[in-house]
Amino acid sequence: MVVLDGEAVIYDDRTGDLHNLNPTATIVFGLCDGTGTIKELAADVAEAFVMPVSEIEPQIRGLVRQFRTAGLLDPSAPAGSITEAKPR
């Protein structure tokens, strides 16, 4: 993973795919460390962006779902936590 001007580019050496994350997705991906729940992550992001959690949480859930679908998260994280971003 390389971050340039706040945007991440992630190369998946298993598939050869490149994943481009916008600045917000880059922040969320960086917070996927296996220690927090989606609700906790949404609360942190909502506080940082001064927005209601009710608006942020569905967006966070969607992003995490996209990360999982793309194979960017490690599914072996503790139960109840967001799966950890795979080391790159």
List the pLDDT tens digit at each of the 88 positions of the chain: 999 999 999 998 888 999 999 999 999 999 998 888 999 999 999 999 999 999 999 999 999 999 999 989 887 655 445 555 554 4
Domain hosting residue 52, numbered range: 2-85
User: Contact 10/1 with Cβ under 8 angstroms?
Assistant: yes
What is the pTM (predicted TM-score) of this model?
A: 0.80
CATH of the domain at 18: 1.10.10.1150
The tally of domains found in the chain comes to 1
